[in-house]
Amino acid sequence: MNTVLAKALRDDTDFKLELELVAGAAGLRREIDHVRTQRPGLALTGFTASLQPGRMQVVGATEISYLASLEGDARRDAVDYLGSVNIPCLVVTSALVPQAELIALCERLELPLFRTPLVTHIFTSRVHQFLDEHLSPEVSMHGVLLDVFGVGVLLTGPSGVGKSECALDLVLRGHRLVADDVIQVKRRSGYLEGFSPQITKHHMEVRGLGIINAADLFGAASVRDRKRVELVVEMAEWRNDDQYDRLGVDELYETILEVGVAKVRLPIRPGRNVASIVEVAARNQLLKLRGHNAAVNFKEALEKRLMRGTVESE
Amino acid sequence: MSARIRRSVRVSNDLGLHLRAAGVLVQMAGGFACEITLERDGAGGQRANAKSIMSVLALAAGRGTALTVEAEGSDAERAVEALCALIDRGFES
């Protein structure tokens, strides 16, 4: 499982979390492994069963005003409940001032205590993006990722099958390159997002020409930085004994990071215009996403006709 | 016979795995029949297909980067030997 150090929260600038460290600097190497935050709420009353280890705790107005309503030992006890579970860090929102007891606990347990001027719902929404970015599973894949008519198409296949050449064809037709050869794929909630490693972004290699920059050659509209992966097109050398789909009624899927993505297998041979076929595959995928499946409709129309034929012959 | 060979090597030249160096490496890797992978050592070690220029460049392996060269196939032994030697001598041909 991926984890992110509490330190990364302090150092973050991308997600505008606006955190300052109040106490517990010695614990900055504690690990967060849960993609969602938690409000300690009832835990302050002693009901700690719901507190989850590894999960960031967001302390808002409810918690701070509850602590303010307690005095002396009662307040210290309430704070101590938080220390009974191995949580990675606490964040006080809305520029609220944490009580001295809370600060003392965090120093003693070496538990980072942060503070942000952001109100709770804004902080929570930003920090969830931060956690998604750091904790989502990621895999590196071989192929080319393009945006074809708005459909994220991942071309795969063995080296030398012509993926980059096909991608170049598609870019020349006005489609957009996301990543060539090395594609980082990240799982988001229920879908996959692909992007290029920073260093090779917008570049592609064309045998005989070397490395080219698609954004410079074809303009800013010919590239994009990230795209949802919606269709895998697997390119393979044409083999007469292999069975290619002749009907398109059964749907193929490729599973990437436990997410299923629609897939087509394209046999390649000289003279076959692969870019055109990929364009059609993307258009077909768009129709399917809108609930229109040409192959299935055709099958149903045919079956209806056959049924009628059966009745007439009786 | 298909053996899998792994060997560690450190990028020692000043510029690291720069563009020309990557070109030489990919050319050399392409001369072998086996599959060759470069892996950055350490947690979450990024992997690159040694026969693909974009893949090798995406590693962005600077001076001092520890890599593992891994090959699988009939000429894996020779491939690992040759690539490690190339990296060791700073990509000088």
Among A91, A95, A97, which residue's Cα sits nearest to residue A119?
A: A95
Q: Which residue has the tokens 């392996």?
A: B61
Q: Which residue has the tokens 């809305």?
A: A94
Is the sign of the CA dihedral B81, B83, B88, B90 positive or negative?
Answer: positive
Task: State residue A238's pLDDT score.
Answer: 78
How far does A242 lie from chain B, in Å, by closest CA? 24
- Indicate the class that CATH gives domain A4-135: alpha beta
Of all residues in chain A, the one with the smallest CA distance to B43 is A2
Cβ <8 Å between B60 and A203? no
Of all residues in chain A, the one with the smallest CA distance to B60 is A199
d(CA A139, CA A136): 10
Task: State residue A128's pLDDT score.
Answer: 93
Q: Which of B24, B34, B55 to mutate to test the interface with A (most CBs of A within 10 A)?
A: B55
ipTM tops the 0.90 cut: no
Ranges of chain B with pLDDT below 50:
none
Portions of chain A given CATH number 3.40.1390.20: 4-135
Task: State residue B45's pLDDT score.
Answer: 78
How far does A173 lie from chain B, in Å, by closest CA? 23
**What is the DSSP code (8-state) at residue A109?**
H
Structural contact between residues A59 and A40, judged by C-beta atoms closer than 8 angstroms:
yes
Residue among B19, B47, B54 whose CB faces A180 most closely:
B54
Q: Does the CB of B57 have a partner CB in chain A at under 8 Å?
A: yes
CA triple A139-A144-A149, angle to 5 deg: 115
**Which residues 210-249 of chain A have a CB within 8 Å of chain B?**
211
Structural contact between residues A144 and A167, judged by C-beta atoms closer than 8 angstroms:
yes
Task: State residue B1's pLDDT score.
Answer: 54
Task: State residue B2's pLDDT score.
Answer: 65
Please report residues of A whose CB lies closer than 8 A to that of B60.
197, 199
Give catalytic residue positions of A.
142, 163, 181, 246
Counting Cα atoms < 13 Å in the Cβ hemisphere of B90 gives 5
- Indicate the class that CATH gives domain A138-297: alpha beta
Ranges of chain A with pLDDT below 70:
1, 241-243, 310-314
Counting Cα atoms < 13 Å in the Cβ hemisphere of A74 gives 7
Residue type, A89: C
Please report residues of B whose CB lies closer than 8 A to that of A182.
48, 52, 54-55, 58
d(CA B50, CA A141): 14
Task: State residue A244's pLDDT score.
Answer: 72
Report the helix count and the strand count for chain B, using DSSP H and E: 3, 4
- Average of per-residue pLDDT values in chain B: 90
Portions of chain A given CATH number 3.40.50.300: 138-297
Tens digit of pLDDT for each residue in A47-102? 988 899 999 999 999 999 999 999 889 999 999 999 889 999 999 999 999 999 99
Task: State residue A29's pLDDT score.
Answer: 93
Q: Which domains does chain B have, with CATH numbers?
A: 3-88 (3.30.1340.10)
Structural contact between residues A151 and A227, judged by C-beta atoms closer than 8 angstroms:
no
Task: State residue A307's pLDDT score.
Answer: 84
Task: State residue A188's pLDDT score.
Answer: 87
In sequence order, what are the residues at sequence separation of 6 or more whose Cβ sits closer than 8 angstroms to the Cβ of residue B26?
Answer: B50, B51, B52, B53, B56
d(CA A176, CA A167): 9
Task: State residue A109's pLDDT score.
Answer: 93
Counting Cα atoms < 13 Å in the Cβ hemisphere of A313 gives 6
